[in-house]
Structure 1
Amino acid sequence: MANLSFILGIIGNVISILLFASPIKTFCGMIKKKSTGDYKGEPYITTLLSTSLWTLYGIINPDGLLVMTVNGAGAILQLIYVILFLVYAPKDTKVKAAKLVGVVNVGVLGTVTAVTLFAVHKNTRLTFVGILCTALTIGMYASPLSAMVPNAVGLFLGSAQLILYVTYKNKPVSTNPSEAIEEEEEEEEEGGSAHPGRRGIEMNSSLVNV
């Protein structure tokens, strides 16, 4: 079983490295054009953070050789992508990307590494880094859902409006009091005296006026 797990781990590492290497063609195009075009640098910057943290996890894990090697290779590739992006990006984009690299890949990574090595107890380091890595990975995969949330709310509100329209579209709304009284009198004439008490009051008031 141990050998099987190791073999499956190696296969998984090979697949992961191929995924990390998939943007190579994109960056070859950037080098030829000497421009980043419409590509964004944020995915490579955040993936560099993720692979770096997973590499740290593999380093502090006694059984983390496979995790360390695959994510170490991924971190090296992502670092190359980030550097190439900074070289060929337009000036405004380059400045924003450089600031993000400073905050994410230097500030966050440095802080997590320092806290892990000097502030967290040795027995809980692995759990601490593992939770951070898992949360970051889930966040990266779930980030495209942010584009769906406003659309879901719009679908709900639009459906509510449609239901209200279908429910009340055939019911006229009278804003004129005199029209409402006339409609009520017509209904009484058609269906008889629905309010005999009120008719009596009206007759009495007419006699007093006479």
Structure 2
Amino acid sequence: MGDRLRLAVGVMGNAASLLLYAAPILTFSRVIRKKGTEGFSCIPYIIALLNCLLYTWYGLPIVSYRWENFPVVTINGLGILLEFSFILIYIWFASGRDKMKVAATLIPVILVFSITAIISGFLFHDHHHRKVFVGSVALVASVAMYGSPLVVVKQVIQTKSIEFMPFYLSFFSFIASSLWMAYGLLSHDLFLASPNLVGSPLGILQLVLYCKYRKRGIIEEPNKWDLEQNEEKSKQLQLVINNDANGKS
């Protein structure tokens, strides 16, 4: 019964995490459409990539015992593909300066994962010590991933606008964190449960801020067509004024 419940929670956690990882698709569709990153940061996606790499490694039979954490492997493996795709799109459309920032962050992330995988694979010879080592590194990365939205939270409070904090991203973050926290507790695995003890309250905080500031609406940029129409009307008005002044003279 316990194993079935744990598996059911893991499957629901996979579904919620899939929606969470897929949420930025709308953002990057806009990037492709406008052919520019509009100045937003790629760091949260790079941290998420590190988190997915570490937890995929953590769930594999090399670290975990057989396939006891198979749901962790499946969702984080898919997360690697999605996050890596988002980062590539960002690099393609980013300015030269932003590309350098991405490289300066991405290279250390790849090194951290590679060193963690090598040390755990060759220096430790049993599952327990491998889990403790990889889990500790993954715990830090996961807390950093869940903590990265605090930058957006600060921006929402300062601007009193929810433009940079989509509802579904906050909602799925809360659901996914809560489900994985339950999965970790049912598995008696603190390395899976602990990060979500941070992620779940942060998800609640984002939802509270969304409810508080949603009535203020989203700050929208002026429509280009409207600007052109207003400019044309101004020219016509100026022409009428000039003609009227010439007639009076």
> Aligned residues: percent identity?
32
How far apart are residue 128 of structure 1 and its match? 1.1
Distance in 1 between residues matched to 2:147 and 2:105, nearest whole Å: 20
CA distance in 2, matches of 1:32, 1:57: 37
Match for residue 115 of structure 2 among 111, 118, 121: 111
| Distance in 1 (alpha carbons) for counterparts of 2:118 and 2:47 | 19
Query: What is the deviation of 1:92?
Result: 0.7
State how many pairs are aligned: 146
Higher relative contact order (CA 8 A, sep 6+): 2
Structure exhibiting the larger radius of gyration computed from Cα positions: 1
Q: Deviations over 1:93-116 (max 9, x none)?
A: 111212211121x21111111111
Which residue is equivalent to 1:89? 94
Greater shift, 131-140 or 34-43, is seen at: 131-140
Is the CA contact (8 Å cut-off) linking 2:47 and 2:144 kept in structure 1?
A: no
Instruction: Tell me how far apart the structure 2 counterparts of residues 140 and 10 of structure 1 sit (CA, whole Å).
Output: 22
Q: Which residue in the other structure is 1:141 paired with?
A: 146
Aligned partner of 2:58: which letter?
Answer: Y
Question: Within 1, Cα distance between the matches of 2:74 and 2:84?
Answer: 15
* Runs of 4+ in structure 1 over 4 Å off: none
* Residue 54 (structure 1) shift: 0.4
Unaligned runs of at least 5 residues, structure 1? 149-210
AA partner of residue 103 (structure 1): P
SS at match of 1:36: coil
Instruction: Give the Å deviation of 1:35.
Output: 0.6
Report the residue type matching 1:110 in the other structure.
S
Q: 1:4: how far off?
A: 2.3
Q: Does the alignment pair 1:98 with 2:103?
A: yes
Deviation for aligned residue 1:122:
2.2
Deviations 1:3-22 (A, max 9, x none): 22211210111001100000
Aligned letter for 1:37? E
- Give the drift of 1:121: 2.9
